[in-house]
C-alpha cells in the first residue's frame, strides 16, 4: 500500500482552518517572548528519526504475543511500512536493520525500493544475544566476552558480516548491544570479561570503513540479572575511549537503573564529544519499551534541553547524531505507536528549542533557583503541537498522521494485502 500526496493534501485541507488559527495564536505568543516560530519549525522539519525494522510488528512479552495482523512478512514489506510512516509525518526518513532478522538478499533492489519512498538506511544492528540455526557455538554464556576464544571469534565475524551488509546498503554505522554478563555472583570474572570484550571490539573496529562509526550501547541488567559487561555509560565510554574516535556511546532511555539522571549523562557525553545518539522509548519500571513520552514526558524534555545545548556548543547539527526509536508494541498497532513516538520526540525537541538559554544562564549565575525552574517549565508547558504539525505539513506530510492513518484504513488495507494472521520476523 502507498499513500498518495493528494490524499494527504485533501485531509490537510479539511483541517487547515483550525490549524491555521492555532498556529497564528501560538506564533503571536512566541513572538512576545522574542522567539521566531519559523526557525523552530525549520529545525523540526530537519529532524529525522530512524525506525528499527523490529518495531513494525507486535513484539509481545515472554509470556505471549498477540499478533495484530497485516504485519510485514519480509524486509521489503518492512521498508514499505516505514515508507507509510514517512509519507504521513515526513520525519521518519530512515530504517535501521537488524542482522540476521533482515538480511538483504539483493542490496540494489532494496535500495531502490527505499529511495522510491525517500528512505535511507540507518545504522545496522548485530545480534549475538540469540543463537541462530546452524551456528557452531552457542551464546548462552556470552559472545564478545566469552571465556572460549572460538565463541568470541564467531561473534566478531558476525559483526564484520553485519558491516558488510551495511556497506552494501549505504549505512554508516554499526550498532552493538551486548547481552553478555552473568546471572549469579561468581559466575564471571568481571575484569576478564571486560578485557575479552575489548579485544573483540578492537577486532571489529579494525574492520570499520573509514567513514563509519561503531555505536556502543549499554544496559544495566536483563537478560542477565547479576552483572552486565557493558552495564552503564561509564563502561561504554571507557570502551569507546580505548577503541578510538570512531566509537561513540549510544544511550537507550530504557537501559538505566530507576531514577537515573539521564539528562546529566547526556550532557557529560556531549561535553566529551562521545554521544552517538539515542534509542528513544519510555518506561515506568525498567526496559519497558513503551511509547516515547507516554510515561515521563518531562524527563524527555529535560534530555532535549541538554541535547540542544550540546549541539549548539559543539556546532553540530541534529542530523550528525543517530536518533532512533527502540520500542516494542504489545497492545497497540505498531505503526500508530511509532507515529505517536515520533510526535512525542518532536514535541520535546520543539519545547527545548523554546528555552531562553541566556536568561537561564543568568538565573543560574545568580543562584535564582525559582527563575531557572520557571524558565524550563514555561517552555515545557507551552503547547507546541501546532509547530510540529506545521513542520510536517510544510514537508508534505499530514497535519494529523494518526487521523489520516485511520481515515485511510491503512491497517485494513495491510491485512487485505498480507493476511490477518501474520507475524513479523524478529523478536
Which residues are near Mn ion by CB under 5 A? 252, 279, 326
Q: How far is the CB of 52 from Mn ion (least distance, A)?
A: 8
Q: Sheet of 50-52: strands edge to edge?
A: 120-121, 94-96, 50-52, 322-325, 275-280, 247-252, 213-217, 173-177, 124-125
Cell of 53: 525494522
Half-sphere exposure of 159 (CA within 13 A, CB side): 28
Q: Name residue, grid cell 547479576.
A: 226
CB atoms within 10 A of CB 180: 26
Handedness of CA 416, 425, 255, 384 (dihedral sign): negative
Q: How far is the CB of 54 from Mn ion (least distance, A)?
A: 10
d(CA 244, CA 237): 11
Q: Yes or no: say if 207 and 160 are a contact pair by the CB < 8 Å rule.
A: yes
Cα 132 to chain centroid distance, Å, stands at: 25
Handedness of CA 270, 272, 273, 277 (dihedral sign): negative
Torsion, Cα of 97, 102, 106, 110 (10° steps): -50
Strands 94-96 and 247-252: what pairing? unpaired
d(CA 198, CA 94): 30
d(CA 341, CA 348): 11
Which CB atom, from 177 or from 405, has the smaller least distance to Mn ion?
177
Residue 52: beta bridge partners?
A: 96
d(CA 384, CA 58): 30
CB atoms within 10 A of CB 268: 17
E strand intervals along 110-155: 120-121, 124-125
Which CB atom, from 326 or from 337, has the smaller least distance to Mn ion?
326
- Tell me which residue of 184, 177, 186 sits closest to 219, measured CA to CA: 177
Q: Yes or no: say if 346 and 391 are a contact pair by the CB < 8 Å rule.
A: yes
Amino acid at each position: 500500500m502507498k499513500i498518495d500526496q493528494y490524499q494527504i493534501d485533501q485531509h490537510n485541507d479539511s483541517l487547515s482552518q483550525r490549524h491555521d488559527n492555532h498556529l497564528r495564536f501560538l506564533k503571536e505568543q512566541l513572538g512576545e517572548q522574542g522567539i521566531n516560530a519559523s526557525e523552530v519549525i525549520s529545525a523540526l522539519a530537519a529532524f529525522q528519526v530512524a525506525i528499527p525494522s523490529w518495531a513494525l510488528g507486535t513484539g509481545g512479552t515472554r509470556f505471549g504475543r498477540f499478533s495484530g495482523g497485516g504485519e510485514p512478512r519480509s524486509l521489503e514489506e518492512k521498508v514499505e511500512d516505514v515508507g507509510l510512516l514517512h509519507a504521513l509525518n515526513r520525519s521518519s526518513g530512515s530504517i535501521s536493520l537488524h542482522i540476521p532478522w533482515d538480511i538483504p538478499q539483493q542490496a540494489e533492489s532494496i535500495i531502490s525500493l527505499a529511495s522510491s519512498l525517500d528512505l535511507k538506511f540507518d545504522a545496522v544492528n548485530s545480534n549475538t544475544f540469540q543463537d541462530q540455526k546452524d551456528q557452531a557455538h552457542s551464546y548462552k554464556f556470552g559472545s564478545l566476552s566469552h571465556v572460549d576464544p572460538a565463541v568470541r571469534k564467531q561473534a566478531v565475524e558476525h559483526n564484520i558480516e553485519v558491516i558488510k551488509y551495511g556497506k552494501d546498503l549505504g549505512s554508516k554505522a554499526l550498532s552493538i548491544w551486548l547481552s553478555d554478563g552473568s546471572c549469579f555472583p561468581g559466575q564471571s570474572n568481571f575484569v576478564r570479561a571486560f578485557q575479552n570484550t575489548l579485544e573483540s571490539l578492537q577486532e571489529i573496529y579494525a574492520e570499520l570503513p573509514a567513514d563509519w562509526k561503531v555505536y556502543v550501547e549499554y544496559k544495566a541488567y536483563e537478560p542477565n540479572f547479576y552483572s552486565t559487561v557493558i552495564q552503564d555509560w561509564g563502561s561504554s565510554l571507557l570502551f569507546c575511549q580505548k577503541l578510538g574516535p570512531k566509537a561513540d556511546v549510544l544511550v537507550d532511555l530504557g537501559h538505566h537503573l530507576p531514577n537515573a539522571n539521564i539528562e546529566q549523562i547526556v550532557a557529560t557525553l556531549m561535553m566529551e564529544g562521545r554521544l552517538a545518539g539515542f534509542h528513544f522509548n519510555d518506561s515506568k519500571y525498567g526496559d519497558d519499551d513503551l511509547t516515547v513520552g507516554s510515561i515521563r514526558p518531562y524527563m524527555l524534555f529535560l534530555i532535549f534541553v541538554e541535547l540542544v545545548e550540546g549541539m549548539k556548543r559543539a556546532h553540530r547539527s541534529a542530523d550528525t547524531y543517530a536518533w532512533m526509536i527502540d520500542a516494542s508494541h504489545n497492545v497497540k498497532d505498531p505503526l500508530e505507536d511509532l507515529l505517536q513516538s515520533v510526535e512525542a520526540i518532536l514535541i520535546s525537541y520543539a519545547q527545548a528549542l523554546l528555552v531562553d538559554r541566556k536568561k537561564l544562564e543568568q538565573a543560574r549565575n545568580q543562584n535564582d533557583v525559582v527563575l531557572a525552574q520557571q524558565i524550563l517549565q514555561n517552555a515545557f508547558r507551552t503547547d507546541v503541537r501546532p509547530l510540529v504539525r506545521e513542520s510536517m505539513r510544510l514537508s508534505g506530510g499530514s497535519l494529523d498522521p494518526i487521523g489520516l492513518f485511520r481515515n485511510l484504513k491503512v491497517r485494513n488495507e495491510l491485512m487485505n494485502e498480507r493476511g490477518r494472521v501474520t507475524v513479523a520476523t524478529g523478536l
